[in-house]
Amino acid sequence: MESGQVSVETTNGIATVRFGHPKGNSLPGALLRRIADTIDAVAADAASRVVVLRSSEPGPFCAGASFDELKAIADAETGKEFFMGFARVILAMRRCPKLIIARVHGKAVGGGVGIAAAADYAIATSAASVKLSELAVGIGPFVVGPVIERKIGTGPFQALAIDATGWRDADWAQRHGLFAQVVSDGVALDEAVAALAGQLARSNPEAMHRLKQIFWEGTDDWPARLEERAAMSGTLVLSTFTRNAIAAFAAR
């Protein structure tokens, strides 16, 4: 299966991490591992002071889990390992001592919403609608749930998780804190990201690190919690209901 690509470019203290996959920037396990490893590498790189996380264009920001890989899961351990990929990305973003800006150019589904929520500051275009589609295919947003609920609150998270077929627009996402800023189009998005990233690259690294530690207070139990959630998802994906739902969804 096509595993996608990840690249990183560091200029003037700004490390831009870009991921891409030909199927709507979806996230197979190998790509999730590379994203997490790349964020860890950038975290340790003295040349970078701020991180911009973005995906390839055109198309959505992220279509979420790879349906090809979901269909291929044959046992609970393989299922858990797949969903641990999302956990590793979230945890890498959490432990990175540098502030992470998510550049969200288009729609985000499932794990893509989790990535936006795990960023310290997300800037999106008005085309960046969001949806948590997991319940519609027989599972739930278990692994990404804690980071999304932390960012937008329990009520809005419940609304996204339960209405698994409905899109919320970028204005909704901004009102509830998922996006810090919404702009009109891609040109304005690049300008806004460059302006903020440049400002942060000139800021005190120690102050930003301490600020990030404050942002993530109360999440020390997340490695164990997300592993437990990954195991839950890995078991559910094997059920007859979920297999049929995934097959029907992928056939659309």
Q: How high is the pLDDT of residue 162?
A: 98
Query: Does 250 score more than 80 pLDDT?
Result: no
Q: How high is the pLDDT of residue 1?
A: 45
Angle between helices 76-95 and 111-118 (to 10 degrees): 20
CA–CA distance, 193 with 92 (Å, rounded to integer): 21
Peptide bond into 223 cis (omega under 30): no
Please give the tally of structural domains in the chain: 1
Q: For residue 213, is it within any domain?
A: no
Q: For residue 85, is it within any domain?
A: yes
Closest C-alpha among 134, 154, 150 to residue 236: 134
Range of the domain at 175: 5-201
- Note the pLDDT tens digit of each residue in 147-177: 999 999 999 999 999 999 999 999 999 999 9
Query: Does 32 score more than 50 pLDDT?
Result: yes
Q: pLDDT tier at 246 (50, 70, 90 boundaries)?
A: confident
Q: For residue 178, is it within any domain?
A: yes
Q: For residue 249, is it within any domain?
A: no
- Note the pLDDT tens digit of each residue in 46-86: 999 999 999 999 999 999 999 889 989 999 999 999 999 99
Q: pLDDT tier at 247 (50, 70, 90 boundaries)?
A: confident
Q: For residue 234, is it within any domain?
A: no
CA–CA distance, 236 with 217 (Å, rounded to integer): 30
Q: Which helix (H) or strand (E) holds 38?
A: helix 29-43
- Per-residue pLDDT, averaged over 126-136, amounts to 97
Q: How many CB atoms lie within 10 A of CB 103?
A: 25
Q: For residue 110, is it within any domain?
A: yes
Q: For residue 214, is it within any domain?
A: no
Q: How many CB atoms lie within 10 A of CB 180?
A: 17
Q: How high is the pLDDT of residue 122?
A: 99
Domain harbouring 166, CATH code: 3.90.226.10
**Distant-in-sequence, close-in-space partners of 91: CB < 8 Å, separation ≥ 6:** 36, 222, 223, 226
Q: For residue 124, is it within any domain?
A: yes
CA–CA distance, 23 with 168 (Å, rounded to integer): 22
